[in-house]
Chain A
Amino acid sequence: MSFMTAGGNPQLNKHGELKHLLTIEGLPRDVLTRILDTAAPFSEVAEREVKKIPLLRGKSVFNLFFENSTRTRTTFEIAAKRLSADVINLNINTSSANKGETLLDTADNLAAMHADMFVVRHASSGAPYLIARHMAATGRDHIHVINAGDGRHAHPTQGLLDMYTIRHYKKDFSQLTVAVVGDVLHSRVARSQIHALTTLGVPEVRVIAPKTLLPTGIERLGVRVFNDMKEGLRGVDVVMMLRLQNERMQGALLPSTQEYFKSWGLTPEKLALAKPDAIVMHPGPMNRGVEIDSAVADGGQAVILPQVTFGIAVRMAVMAMLAGNS
Protein backbone atom coordinates (compact mmCIF):
# COMPACT_ATOMS: atom_id res chain seq x y z
CA MET A 1 0.00 0.00 0.00
CA SER A 2 1.89 2.99 -1.22
CA PHE A 3 -0.18 5.57 0.67
CA MET A 4 1.77 4.64 3.78
CA THR A 5 5.15 5.58 2.42
CA ALA A 6 4.51 9.02 0.95
CA GLY A 7 6.29 11.76 2.91
CA GLY A 8 8.14 9.59 5.45
CA ASN A 9 6.62 7.10 7.82
CA PRO A 10 3.55 8.71 9.40
CA GLN A 11 3.74 6.25 12.29
CA LEU A 12 6.97 7.67 13.67
CA ASN A 13 7.59 11.01 15.42
CA LYS A 14 10.61 13.17 14.69
CA HIS A 15 12.75 11.08 17.06
CA GLY A 16 11.92 7.90 15.12
CA GLU A 17 9.65 6.67 17.94
CA LEU A 18 6.30 5.01 17.36
CA LYS A 19 3.43 7.53 17.54
CA HIS A 20 0.75 5.49 15.77
CA LEU A 21 0.66 1.82 14.82
CA LEU A 22 -0.95 1.55 11.41
CA THR A 23 1.02 -1.13 9.60
CA ILE A 24 4.16 -3.21 10.05
CA GLU A 25 5.21 -2.46 6.48
CA GLY A 26 8.07 0.02 6.50
CA LEU A 27 8.81 -0.16 10.23
CA PRO A 28 12.51 -0.75 10.92
CA ARG A 29 13.59 -3.99 12.55
CA ASP A 30 14.73 -2.24 15.73
CA VAL A 31 11.26 -0.78 16.26
CA LEU A 32 9.68 -4.24 15.92
CA THR A 33 12.28 -5.77 18.23
CA ARG A 34 11.71 -3.02 20.77
CA ILE A 35 7.97 -3.73 20.81
CA LEU A 36 8.62 -7.44 21.37
CA ASP A 37 11.16 -6.69 24.11
CA THR A 38 8.78 -4.26 25.79
CA ALA A 39 5.91 -6.77 25.71
CA ALA A 40 7.81 -9.34 27.79
CA PRO A 41 7.53 -7.60 31.19
CA PHE A 42 3.86 -6.76 30.54
CA SER A 43 2.98 -10.44 30.40
CA GLU A 44 4.02 -10.76 34.07
CA VAL A 45 1.30 -8.28 35.15
CA ALA A 46 -1.39 -10.92 34.49
CA GLU A 47 0.07 -13.09 37.24
CA ARG A 48 -0.31 -10.49 39.99
CA GLU A 49 -2.91 -10.18 42.70
CA VAL A 50 -3.85 -6.80 41.19
CA LYS A 51 -3.67 -7.20 37.40
CA LYS A 52 -3.26 -3.51 36.77
CA ILE A 53 -0.46 -1.02 36.37
CA PRO A 54 -0.93 2.76 36.40
CA LEU A 55 0.76 3.77 33.12
CA LEU A 56 -2.37 4.99 31.30
CA ARG A 57 -4.25 6.27 34.34
CA GLY A 58 -6.54 9.13 33.33
CA LYS A 59 -6.27 8.36 29.60
CA SER A 60 -9.30 7.55 27.48
CA VAL A 61 -9.01 4.79 24.90
CA PHE A 62 -11.80 4.52 22.35
CA ASN A 63 -12.31 1.17 20.65
CA LEU A 64 -13.81 2.15 17.31
CA PHE A 65 -15.05 -1.00 15.68
CA PHE A 66 -16.73 -0.40 12.34
CA GLU A 67 -16.55 -4.13 11.74
CA ASN A 68 -17.39 -6.99 14.08
CA SER A 69 -14.77 -8.59 16.25
CA THR A 70 -14.87 -10.34 19.57
CA ARG A 71 -11.33 -11.45 20.32
CA THR A 72 -9.47 -8.42 19.04
CA ARG A 73 -11.82 -5.93 20.69
CA THR A 74 -11.79 -7.87 23.96
CA THR A 75 -8.03 -8.19 24.11
CA PHE A 76 -7.58 -4.48 23.33
CA GLU A 77 -10.09 -3.70 26.06
CA ILE A 78 -8.34 -5.92 28.61
CA ALA A 79 -4.96 -4.49 27.61
CA ALA A 80 -6.15 -0.90 28.08
CA LYS A 81 -7.85 -1.73 31.38
CA ARG A 82 -4.73 -3.45 32.74
CA LEU A 83 -2.91 -0.20 31.93
CA SER A 84 -5.57 1.64 33.99
CA ALA A 85 -7.01 3.54 31.02
CA ASP A 86 -10.71 4.31 30.72
CA VAL A 87 -12.05 2.26 27.83
CA ILE A 88 -15.04 3.17 25.72
CA ASN A 89 -16.27 0.59 23.21
CA LEU A 90 -18.17 1.70 20.15
CA ASN A 91 -19.67 -0.77 17.71
CA ILE A 92 -20.29 1.68 14.97
CA ASN A 93 -21.92 -0.58 12.43
CA THR A 94 -24.91 -0.46 14.76
CA SER A 95 -24.58 3.23 15.49
CA SER A 96 -24.00 6.63 13.88
CA ALA A 97 -22.45 5.30 10.68
CA ASN A 98 -25.84 3.80 9.97
CA LYS A 99 -27.35 7.25 10.34
CA GLY A 100 -24.94 8.59 7.73
CA GLU A 101 -22.15 10.11 9.84
CA THR A 102 -18.77 10.04 8.10
CA LEU A 103 -15.70 8.35 9.55
CA LEU A 104 -13.96 11.67 10.22
CA ASP A 105 -17.06 13.22 11.80
CA THR A 106 -17.20 10.29 14.18
CA ALA A 107 -13.51 10.72 15.00
CA ASP A 108 -13.94 14.50 15.47
CA ASN A 109 -16.78 13.96 17.92
CA LEU A 110 -14.79 11.50 19.97
CA ALA A 111 -11.75 13.78 19.91
CA ALA A 112 -14.03 16.50 21.31
CA MET A 113 -14.71 14.11 24.20
CA HIS A 114 -10.96 14.24 24.97
CA ALA A 115 -9.94 10.91 23.51
CA ASP A 116 -6.25 10.04 23.93
CA MET A 117 -6.17 6.95 21.75
CA PHE A 118 -8.25 5.39 19.00
CA VAL A 119 -8.19 1.66 18.32
CA VAL A 120 -9.76 1.35 14.89
CA ARG A 121 -11.15 -1.59 12.97
CA HIS A 122 -12.68 -0.86 9.59
CA ALA A 123 -13.68 -2.78 6.48
CA SER A 124 -11.90 -0.23 4.29
CA SER A 125 -8.12 -0.34 3.90
CA GLY A 126 -6.53 2.90 5.08
CA ALA A 127 -9.30 4.05 7.44
CA PRO A 128 -7.01 4.24 10.53
CA TYR A 129 -4.40 6.11 8.47
CA LEU A 130 -7.09 8.58 7.36
CA ILE A 131 -8.00 9.27 11.00
CA ALA A 132 -4.35 9.71 12.04
CA ARG A 133 -3.71 12.09 9.16
CA HIS A 134 -6.86 14.05 9.91
CA MET A 135 -5.91 14.42 13.58
CA ALA A 136 -2.45 15.69 12.63
CA ALA A 137 -3.88 18.10 10.03
CA THR A 138 -6.25 19.58 12.61
CA GLY A 139 -3.66 20.08 15.37
CA ARG A 140 -4.64 17.10 17.48
CA ASP A 141 -1.60 14.90 16.99
CA HIS A 142 -1.50 14.10 20.71
CA ILE A 143 -4.16 11.51 19.79
CA HIS A 144 -2.67 8.11 18.98
CA VAL A 145 -4.18 5.69 16.49
CA ILE A 146 -3.82 1.91 16.50
CA ASN A 147 -4.99 -0.12 13.53
CA ALA A 148 -6.96 -3.13 14.76
CA GLY A 149 -7.50 -4.41 11.22
CA ASP A 150 -8.37 -2.44 8.07
CA GLY A 151 -9.86 -4.17 5.03
CA ARG A 152 -7.34 -6.44 3.38
CA HIS A 153 -4.50 -4.10 4.28
CA ALA A 154 -3.04 -4.74 7.73
CA HIS A 155 -3.57 -6.05 11.23
CA PRO A 156 -0.30 -5.02 12.83
CA THR A 157 -0.93 -6.06 16.45
CA GLN A 158 -1.88 -9.56 15.24
CA GLY A 159 1.36 -9.68 13.25
CA LEU A 160 3.33 -8.56 16.32
CA LEU A 161 1.72 -11.01 18.71
CA ASP A 162 2.47 -13.76 16.20
CA MET A 163 6.12 -12.69 16.17
CA TYR A 164 6.13 -12.62 19.97
CA THR A 165 4.73 -16.17 19.97
CA ILE A 166 7.33 -17.40 17.49
CA ARG A 167 10.14 -15.81 19.45
CA HIS A 168 8.78 -17.29 22.68
CA TYR A 169 8.94 -20.84 21.30
CA LYS A 170 11.80 -20.61 18.78
CA LYS A 171 13.99 -17.95 20.51
CA ASP A 172 15.58 -16.66 17.29
CA PHE A 173 14.25 -15.71 13.85
CA SER A 174 17.47 -16.13 11.89
CA GLN A 175 17.30 -19.90 11.24
CA LEU A 176 13.59 -20.40 10.68
CA THR A 177 11.41 -21.59 7.85
CA VAL A 178 7.88 -20.25 8.35
CA ALA A 179 4.80 -21.12 6.30
CA VAL A 180 1.71 -18.92 5.99
CA VAL A 181 -1.10 -21.17 4.82
CA GLY A 182 -4.54 -20.54 3.35
CA ASP A 183 -6.65 -17.60 2.28
CA VAL A 184 -3.90 -15.06 1.69
CA LEU A 185 -5.98 -13.09 -0.80
CA HIS A 186 -8.47 -11.79 1.76
CA SER A 187 -6.11 -11.72 4.72
CA ARG A 188 -4.77 -8.56 6.33
CA VAL A 189 -3.24 -10.87 8.92
CA ALA A 190 -1.12 -12.59 6.25
CA ARG A 191 0.22 -9.27 4.98
CA SER A 192 1.20 -8.13 8.46
CA GLN A 193 2.80 -11.51 9.20
CA ILE A 194 4.82 -11.50 5.99
CA HIS A 195 6.13 -7.95 6.53
CA ALA A 196 7.03 -8.78 10.13
CA LEU A 197 8.74 -12.07 9.28
CA THR A 198 10.87 -10.60 6.51
CA THR A 199 11.74 -7.49 8.55
CA LEU A 200 12.83 -9.62 11.51
CA GLY A 201 15.15 -11.62 9.26
CA VAL A 202 13.37 -14.97 8.81
CA PRO A 203 15.39 -16.49 5.95
CA GLU A 204 12.56 -18.47 4.37
CA VAL A 205 8.94 -17.34 4.39
CA ARG A 206 6.62 -19.64 2.45
CA VAL A 207 3.12 -18.87 1.33
CA ILE A 208 0.98 -21.94 0.72
CA ALA A 209 -2.38 -21.41 -0.97
CA PRO A 210 -4.54 -22.31 -3.95
CA LYS A 211 -3.92 -19.99 -6.90
CA THR A 212 -7.41 -18.50 -6.54
CA LEU A 213 -6.66 -17.34 -2.98
CA LEU A 214 -3.29 -15.71 -3.74
CA PRO A 215 -2.95 -12.03 -4.57
CA THR A 216 -0.98 -11.41 -7.75
CA GLY A 217 2.62 -10.36 -7.21
CA ILE A 218 2.84 -11.81 -3.67
CA GLU A 219 6.39 -13.01 -4.53
CA ARG A 220 7.50 -9.40 -4.49
CA LEU A 221 7.11 -9.41 -0.70
CA GLY A 222 10.02 -11.84 -0.52
CA VAL A 223 8.15 -15.10 -0.07
CA ARG A 224 8.31 -18.52 -1.78
CA VAL A 225 4.96 -19.57 -3.16
CA PHE A 226 3.69 -23.16 -3.00
CA ASN A 227 0.48 -24.37 -4.59
CA ASP A 228 0.86 -27.80 -3.05
CA MET A 229 0.40 -27.97 0.71
CA LYS A 230 2.41 -31.13 1.29
CA GLU A 231 5.38 -29.81 -0.62
CA GLY A 232 5.17 -26.45 1.14
CA LEU A 233 5.00 -27.85 4.68
CA ARG A 234 8.09 -30.02 4.32
CA GLY A 235 10.65 -29.12 6.99
CA VAL A 236 9.01 -25.94 8.29
CA ASP A 237 9.48 -24.73 11.88
CA VAL A 238 6.27 -22.71 12.13
CA VAL A 239 2.88 -23.23 10.46
CA MET A 240 0.72 -20.10 10.50
CA MET A 241 -2.79 -21.04 9.43
CA LEU A 242 -5.18 -18.42 8.11
CA ARG A 243 -8.93 -18.38 8.51
CA LEU A 244 -10.92 -19.10 5.37
CA GLN A 245 -12.81 -15.82 5.10
CA ASN A 246 -16.19 -16.94 3.83
CA GLU A 247 -17.67 -13.49 4.44
CA ARG A 248 -15.16 -11.86 2.12
CA MET A 249 -15.56 -14.36 -0.71
CA GLN A 250 -16.90 -13.02 -3.95
CA GLY A 251 -17.60 -15.38 -6.81
CA ALA A 252 -16.65 -19.00 -7.09
CA LEU A 253 -13.11 -19.03 -5.70
CA LEU A 254 -13.58 -22.44 -4.13
CA PRO A 255 -15.56 -25.55 -4.94
CA SER A 256 -16.75 -26.18 -1.36
CA THR A 257 -15.46 -26.08 2.19
CA GLN A 258 -15.22 -29.89 2.22
CA GLU A 259 -13.08 -29.79 -0.91
CA TYR A 260 -11.00 -27.03 0.66
CA PHE A 261 -10.38 -29.11 3.77
CA LYS A 262 -9.25 -32.04 1.65
CA SER A 263 -6.55 -30.06 -0.13
CA TRP A 264 -5.78 -27.20 2.27
CA GLY A 265 -6.93 -28.26 5.72
CA LEU A 266 -4.14 -28.89 8.24
CA THR A 267 -4.48 -32.51 9.32
CA PRO A 268 -2.09 -34.50 11.56
CA GLU A 269 -0.84 -36.32 8.41
CA LYS A 270 0.10 -33.06 6.68
CA LEU A 271 1.57 -31.57 9.86
CA ALA A 272 3.84 -34.65 10.12
CA LEU A 273 5.73 -33.29 7.07
CA ALA A 274 6.86 -30.25 9.08
CA LYS A 275 9.71 -30.48 11.59
CA PRO A 276 8.80 -32.65 14.61
CA ASP A 277 8.96 -29.61 16.90
CA ALA A 278 7.04 -27.32 14.54
CA ILE A 279 4.43 -25.09 16.17
CA VAL A 280 0.96 -24.44 14.74
CA MET A 281 -0.59 -20.98 14.97
CA HIS A 282 -3.99 -19.57 14.03
CA PRO A 283 -5.23 -15.99 14.47
CA GLY A 284 -8.78 -17.13 15.23
CA PRO A 285 -11.63 -17.56 14.96
CA MET A 286 -10.98 -21.09 13.68
CA ASN A 287 -13.14 -22.92 11.20
CA ARG A 288 -12.64 -26.46 12.45
CA GLY A 289 -12.91 -28.98 9.66
CA VAL A 290 -12.28 -26.26 7.06
CA GLU A 291 -8.73 -24.94 7.37
CA ILE A 292 -7.73 -26.93 10.44
CA ASP A 293 -8.50 -30.38 11.81
CA SER A 294 -9.62 -30.48 15.45
CA ALA A 295 -6.89 -33.03 16.17
CA VAL A 296 -4.31 -30.39 15.20
CA ALA A 297 -6.11 -27.42 16.77
CA ASP A 298 -6.28 -29.24 20.11
CA GLY A 299 -2.97 -31.10 19.68
CA GLY A 300 0.37 -30.70 21.40
CA GLN A 301 1.92 -28.59 18.65
CA ALA A 302 -0.81 -25.93 18.65
CA VAL A 303 0.04 -22.64 20.38
CA ILE A 304 -3.24 -20.98 19.46
CA LEU A 305 -4.40 -20.16 22.99
CA PRO A 306 -0.98 -18.85 24.09
CA GLN A 307 -1.23 -16.51 21.06
CA VAL A 308 -4.34 -14.97 22.63
CA THR A 309 -2.62 -14.52 26.00
CA PHE A 310 0.52 -13.02 24.44
CA GLY A 311 -1.75 -10.72 22.42
CA ILE A 312 -2.76 -8.89 25.58
CA ALA A 313 0.85 -8.23 26.60
CA VAL A 314 1.78 -7.09 23.08
CA ARG A 315 -1.22 -4.72 22.93
CA MET A 316 -0.33 -3.35 26.38
CA ALA A 317 3.21 -2.70 25.19
CA VAL A 318 2.05 -0.97 22.01
CA MET A 319 -0.40 1.26 23.88
CA ALA A 320 2.16 2.15 26.55
CA MET A 321 4.84 2.94 23.97
CA LEU A 322 2.53 5.13 21.90
CA ALA A 323 1.18 6.98 24.94
CA GLY A 324 4.72 7.79 26.04
CA ASN A 325 5.82 9.07 22.60
CA SER A 326 4.04 12.35 22.10
Chain B
Amino acid sequence: MPMATHMQLPDAESLCSALAEAMRPHIDPARTVLVGIHTGGVWVAERLHAALGLKIPLGSMDVSFYRDDFNQRGLHGNARASHIPFEIEGAHVVIVDDVLYTGRTIRAAMNELFDFGRPARLDLAVLADRGGRELPIAPTFCPHSLSMPAAQMLALERATDGALSFQVMEK
Protein backbone atom coordinates (compact mmCIF):
# COMPACT_ATOMS: atom_id res chain seq x y z
CA MET B 1 0.00 0.00 0.00
CA PRO B 2 1.29 3.47 -0.80
CA MET B 3 1.75 5.40 2.42
CA ALA B 4 1.29 9.05 3.08
CA THR B 5 4.73 10.54 3.42
CA HIS B 6 6.17 13.91 4.22
CA MET B 7 9.31 13.19 2.27
CA GLN B 8 9.57 15.11 -0.98
CA LEU B 9 9.67 12.44 -3.70
CA PRO B 10 11.56 13.17 -6.90
CA ASP B 11 9.57 13.70 -10.08
CA ALA B 12 10.18 10.59 -12.20
CA GLU B 13 9.31 12.29 -15.47
CA SER B 14 11.87 15.06 -15.12
CA LEU B 15 14.45 12.55 -13.88
CA CYS B 16 13.96 10.58 -17.11
CA SER B 17 14.82 13.69 -19.12
CA ALA B 18 17.79 14.53 -16.87
CA LEU B 19 19.10 10.96 -17.18
CA ALA B 20 18.88 11.08 -20.98
CA GLU B 21 20.79 14.37 -21.06
CA ALA B 22 23.46 12.99 -18.74
CA MET B 23 23.94 9.99 -21.04
CA ARG B 24 23.81 11.82 -24.38
CA PRO B 25 27.49 12.86 -24.57
CA HIS B 26 28.60 9.33 -23.72
CA ILE B 27 26.61 7.21 -26.14
CA ASP B 28 26.61 6.55 -29.87
CA PRO B 29 22.99 6.30 -31.13
CA ALA B 30 24.02 3.89 -33.88
CA ARG B 31 25.96 1.54 -31.61
CA THR B 32 24.99 1.82 -27.93
CA VAL B 33 22.43 -0.74 -26.71
CA LEU B 34 20.11 -0.51 -23.70
CA VAL B 35 18.97 -3.40 -21.53
CA GLY B 36 16.15 -2.59 -19.10
CA ILE B 37 15.58 -4.68 -15.98
CA HIS B 38 11.96 -5.77 -15.51
CA THR B 39 9.70 -4.04 -14.75
CA GLY B 40 10.53 -0.45 -13.85
CA GLY B 41 13.88 -0.52 -15.63
CA VAL B 42 12.18 -1.42 -18.91
CA TRP B 43 9.86 1.59 -18.61
CA VAL B 44 12.83 3.90 -18.05
CA ALA B 45 14.79 2.25 -20.87
CA GLU B 46 11.87 2.82 -23.27
CA ARG B 47 11.98 6.57 -22.43
CA LEU B 48 15.75 6.74 -22.85
CA HIS B 49 15.62 4.81 -26.12
CA ALA B 50 13.19 7.35 -27.59
CA ALA B 51 14.85 10.43 -26.09
CA LEU B 52 18.32 9.44 -27.30
CA GLY B 53 17.11 8.27 -30.71
CA LEU B 54 18.87 4.91 -30.45
CA LYS B 55 18.86 2.80 -33.60
CA ILE B 56 19.21 -0.71 -32.11
CA PRO B 57 16.02 -2.16 -30.53
CA LEU B 58 15.75 -2.26 -26.77
CA GLY B 59 16.70 -5.34 -24.73
CA SER B 60 15.10 -6.48 -21.48
CA MET B 61 16.13 -8.80 -18.68
CA ASP B 62 14.32 -10.57 -15.88
CA VAL B 63 17.01 -11.51 -13.40
CA SER B 64 14.90 -14.07 -11.45
CA PHE B 65 17.13 -16.96 -12.56
CA TYR B 66 20.25 -15.20 -11.26
CA ARG B 67 19.06 -13.91 -7.90
CA ASP B 68 21.26 -14.70 -4.91
CA ASP B 69 18.30 -15.39 -2.61
CA PHE B 70 16.82 -18.32 -4.59
CA ASN B 71 17.73 -20.78 -1.81
CA GLN B 72 15.80 -18.67 0.73
CA ARG B 73 12.89 -17.50 -1.37
CA GLY B 74 12.50 -19.98 -4.21
CA LEU B 75 11.15 -18.98 -7.57
CA HIS B 76 8.52 -16.43 -6.64
CA GLY B 77 6.63 -14.00 -8.79
CA ASN B 78 6.19 -14.55 -12.47
CA ALA B 79 9.56 -14.75 -14.17
CA ARG B 80 9.62 -13.45 -17.71
CA ALA B 81 11.91 -14.37 -20.56
CA SER B 82 14.89 -12.11 -21.08
CA HIS B 83 14.97 -10.61 -24.54
CA ILE B 84 18.31 -9.55 -26.00
CA PRO B 85 17.73 -8.82 -29.72
CA PHE B 86 21.38 -7.94 -30.49
CA GLU B 87 24.92 -9.25 -30.04
CA ILE B 88 26.33 -8.55 -26.57
CA GLU B 89 29.81 -9.59 -27.70
CA GLY B 90 31.84 -6.42 -28.20
CA ALA B 91 28.87 -4.05 -27.64
CA HIS B 92 28.58 -0.89 -25.52
CA VAL B 93 25.76 -1.89 -23.18
CA VAL B 94 23.91 0.30 -20.70
CA ILE B 95 21.93 -1.59 -18.06
CA VAL B 96 18.91 0.49 -17.03
CA ASP B 97 16.99 0.20 -13.77
CA ASP B 98 14.57 2.43 -11.91
CA VAL B 99 16.00 2.46 -8.38
CA LEU B 100 19.45 1.39 -7.17
CA TYR B 101 19.35 -0.06 -3.66
CA THR B 102 21.43 -3.02 -2.38
CA GLY B 103 23.11 -3.63 -5.73
CA ARG B 104 22.09 -7.31 -5.74
CA THR B 105 19.78 -6.94 -8.73
CA ILE B 106 22.60 -5.31 -10.70
CA ARG B 107 25.00 -8.12 -9.71
CA ALA B 108 22.44 -10.65 -11.01
CA ALA B 109 21.91 -8.61 -14.19
CA MET B 110 25.66 -8.46 -14.90
CA ASN B 111 26.01 -12.21 -14.42
CA GLU B 112 23.09 -12.85 -16.75
CA LEU B 113 24.36 -10.42 -19.37
CA PHE B 114 27.74 -12.15 -19.55
CA ASP B 115 25.98 -15.42 -20.41
CA PHE B 116 24.99 -13.71 -23.67
CA GLY B 117 28.52 -12.58 -24.48
CA ARG B 118 31.38 -10.27 -23.46
CA PRO B 119 30.49 -6.61 -23.82
CA ALA B 120 33.22 -4.13 -24.74
CA ARG B 121 31.90 -1.72 -22.12
CA LEU B 122 29.11 -1.89 -19.57
CA ASP B 123 27.46 1.09 -17.88
CA LEU B 124 24.65 1.42 -15.37
CA ALA B 125 21.92 4.05 -15.62
CA VAL B 126 19.31 4.49 -12.86
CA LEU B 127 16.69 7.12 -12.16
CA ALA B 128 17.42 7.26 -8.43
CA ASP B 129 19.94 5.94 -5.91
CA ARG B 130 18.29 5.43 -2.52
CA GLY B 131 21.43 4.26 -0.69
CA GLY B 132 21.76 1.06 1.35
CA ARG B 133 24.31 -0.68 -0.85
CA GLU B 134 25.38 -4.20 0.14
CA LEU B 135 27.74 -4.75 -2.80
CA PRO B 136 30.50 -2.59 -4.32
CA ILE B 137 28.36 -1.30 -7.19
CA ALA B 138 27.96 2.32 -8.34
CA PRO B 139 25.90 3.80 -11.18
CA THR B 140 27.55 5.45 -14.17
CA PHE B 141 24.53 7.74 -14.71
CA CYS B 142 22.19 8.74 -11.87
CA PRO B 143 20.38 12.09 -11.72
CA HIS B 144 19.09 11.79 -8.14
CA SER B 145 20.30 10.42 -4.80
CA LEU B 146 18.37 10.18 -1.57
CA SER B 147 18.58 8.32 1.72
CA MET B 148 15.72 6.13 2.87
CA PRO B 149 15.19 3.92 5.93
CA ALA B 150 15.46 0.16 5.28
CA ALA B 151 11.78 -0.30 6.22
CA GLN B 152 10.72 1.68 3.16
CA MET B 153 10.75 0.79 -0.49
CA LEU B 154 10.97 3.27 -3.34
CA ALA B 155 8.99 1.97 -6.30
CA LEU B 156 8.40 3.32 -9.77
CA GLU B 157 4.82 3.09 -11.03
CA ARG B 158 3.30 3.63 -14.44
CA ALA B 159 -0.18 5.08 -14.78
CA THR B 160 -2.60 3.96 -17.51
CA ASP B 161 -1.62 7.04 -19.55
CA GLY B 162 2.03 5.94 -19.32
CA ALA B 163 3.12 8.63 -16.84
CA LEU B 164 5.86 7.50 -14.44
CA SER B 165 5.88 8.38 -10.76
CA PHE B 166 7.59 7.29 -7.56
CA GLN B 167 5.74 5.78 -4.62
CA VAL B 168 6.99 4.93 -1.16
CA MET B 169 5.84 1.59 0.24
CA GLU B 170 6.25 0.33 3.79
CA LYS B 171 7.79 -3.15 3.70
Q: Bin chain A's interface residue count.
A: 20 to 34
Residues of A within 8 Å of B115, CB to CB, are 48-50, 52-53
Decide: A41 and B70 in contact? CB cutoff 8 A.
no
Decide: B66 and A41 in contact? CB cutoff 8 A.
no
Residues of A within 8 Å of B57, CB to CB, are none
Residues of B within 8 Å of A43, CB to CB, are 81
Contact of B74 among A44, A53, A321 (CB under 8 A): A321
The answer to the question of A40 belonging to the interface, with a C-beta cut-off of 8 Å to chain B, is yes
Decide: B74 and A48 in contact? CB cutoff 8 A.
no
The answer to the question of B152 belonging to the interface, with a C-beta cut-off of 8 Å to chain A, is no
Decide: B116 and A49 in contact? CB cutoff 8 A.
yes
Residues of A within 8 Å of B132, CB to CB, are none
The answer to the question of B80 belonging to the interface, with a C-beta cut-off of 8 Å to chain A, is yes
Using known A-B contacts A48-B116, A49-B115, A53-B115, determine if residue A41 contacts B75 with beta carbons closer than 8 Å: no
Decide: B74 and A324 in contact? CB cutoff 8 A.
yes
Q: Please measure, in the bound complex, the distance between the C-alpha atom of A323 and the C-alpha atom of B76, giving whole angstroms.
A: 12
With both chains docked as a complex, state the minimum distance between the C-beta of B116 and any C-beta of chain A, in angstroms.
Answer: 6
Mark contacts of B152-169 with chain A using CB atoms, 8 A cut-off: 1 yes-contact digit, 0 otherwise: 000000000000000000
Mark contacts of A43-59 with chain B using CB atoms, 8 A cut-off: 1 yes-contact digit, 0 otherwise: 11100111011110000
Residues of A within 8 Å of B117, CB to CB, are 49
Q: Please measure, in the bound complex, the distance between the C-alpha atom of A326 and the C-alpha atom of B75, giving whole angstroms.
A: 11
With both chains docked as a complex, state the minimum distance between the C-beta of A41 and any C-beta of chain B, in angstroms.
Answer: 4
With both chains docked as a complex, state the minimum distance between the C-beta of B24 and any C-beta of chain A, in angstroms.
Answer: 30
With both chains docked as a complex, state the minimum distance between the C-beta of A314 and any C-beta of chain B, in angstroms.
Answer: 14
With both chains docked as a complex, state the minimum distance between the C-beta of B61 and any C-beta of chain A, in angstroms.
Answer: 11
With both chains docked as a complex, state the minimum distance between the C-beta of B81 and any C-beta of chain A, in angstroms.
Answer: 4
Residues of B within 8 Å of A199, CB to CB, are none
Residues of B within 8 Å of A198, CB to CB, are none
Decide: B116 and A320 in contact? CB cutoff 8 A.
no
Q: Bin chain B's interface residue count.
A: 20 to 34
Using known A-B contacts A49-B115, A50-B115, A55-B65, determine if residue A325 contacts B78 with beta carbons closer than 8 Å: no
Residues of B within 8 Å of A44, CB to CB, are 81-83
B111's nearest neighbour on chain A, judged by CB, is A54
The answer to the question of A294 belonging to the interface, with a C-beta cut-off of 8 Å to chain B, is no
Using known A-B contacts A52-B115, A54-B111, A324-B70, determine if residue A38 contacts B80 with beta carbons closer than 8 Å: no
Residues of B within 8 Å of A228, CB to CB, are none
Decide: A40 and B81 in contact? CB cutoff 8 A.
yes
The answer to the question of B73 belonging to the interface, with a C-beta cut-off of 8 Å to chain A, is yes
With both chains docked as a complex, state the minimum distance between the C-beta of A84 and any C-beta of chain B, in angstroms.
Answer: 10
Contact of A325 among B62, B74, B88, B116 (CB under 8 A): B74
Q: Please measure, in the bound complex, the distance between the C-alpha atom of A48 and the C-alpha atom of B82, giving whole angstroms.
A: 10
Q: Please measure, in the bound complex, the distance between the C-alpha atom of A48 and the C-alpha atom of B112, giving whole angstroms.
A: 10
With both chains docked as a complex, state the minimum distance between the C-beta of A11 and any C-beta of chain B, in angstroms.
Answer: 15
Residues of A within 8 Å of B112, CB to CB, are 53
The answer to the question of A231 belonging to the interface, with a C-beta cut-off of 8 Å to chain B, is no
Decide: B78 and A37 in contact? CB cutoff 8 A.
yes
Decide: A54 and B65 in contact? CB cutoff 8 A.
yes
The answer to the question of B79 belonging to the interface, with a C-beta cut-off of 8 Å to chain A, is yes
Contact of B75 among A48, A50, A324 (CB under 8 A): A324
Q: Please measure, in the bound complex, the distance between the C-alpha atom of A37 and the C-alpha atom of B78, giving whole angstroms.
A: 7
With both chains docked as a complex, state the minimum distance between the C-beta of A237 and any C-beta of chain B, in angstroms.
Answer: 26
Q: Please measure, in the bound complex, the distance between the C-alpha atom of A50 and the C-alpha atom of B118, giving whole angstroms.
A: 11
The answer to the question of A219 belonging to the interface, with a C-beta cut-off of 8 Å to chain B, is no
The answer to the question of A17 belonging to the interface, with a C-beta cut-off of 8 Å to chain B, is yes
With both chains docked as a complex, state the minimum distance between the C-beta of B107 and any C-beta of chain A, in angstroms.
Answer: 12
Decide: B73 and A324 in contact? CB cutoff 8 A.
yes
Decide: A41 and B81 in contact? CB cutoff 8 A.
yes
A59's nearest neighbour on chain B, judged by CB, is B71
Decide: A55 and B70 in contact? CB cutoff 8 A.
yes
Decide: A41 and B62 in contact? CB cutoff 8 A.
yes
Residues of B within 8 Å of A48, CB to CB, are 115-116
Decide: A53 and B66 in contact? CB cutoff 8 A.
yes
| Residue picked from A43, A45, A54, most chain B C-beta under 10 Å | A54
Mark contacts of B55-66 with chain A using CB atoms, 8 A cut-off: 1 yes-contact digit, 0 otherwise: 000000010111
Q: Please measure, in the bound complex, the distance between the C-alpha atom of A43 and the C-alpha atom of B83, giving whole angstroms.
A: 12
Q: Which 7 A-B pairs give the minimum distances between C-beta atoms?
A: A324-B74, A44-B81, A50-B115, A41-B81, A53-B65, A324-B75, A41-B79
**Interface residue ranges, A against B (CB under 8 Å):** 17, 37-38, 40-41, 43-45, 48-50, 52-55, 320-321, 323-326
**Interface residue ranges, B against A (CB under 8 Å):** 62, 64-66, 70-71, 73-76, 78-83, 88-89, 111-112, 114-117
Known: A40-B80, A41-B62, A324-B73. 5 other contacts (CB 8 A): A40-B81, A49-B115, A55-B65, A55-B75, A320-B75
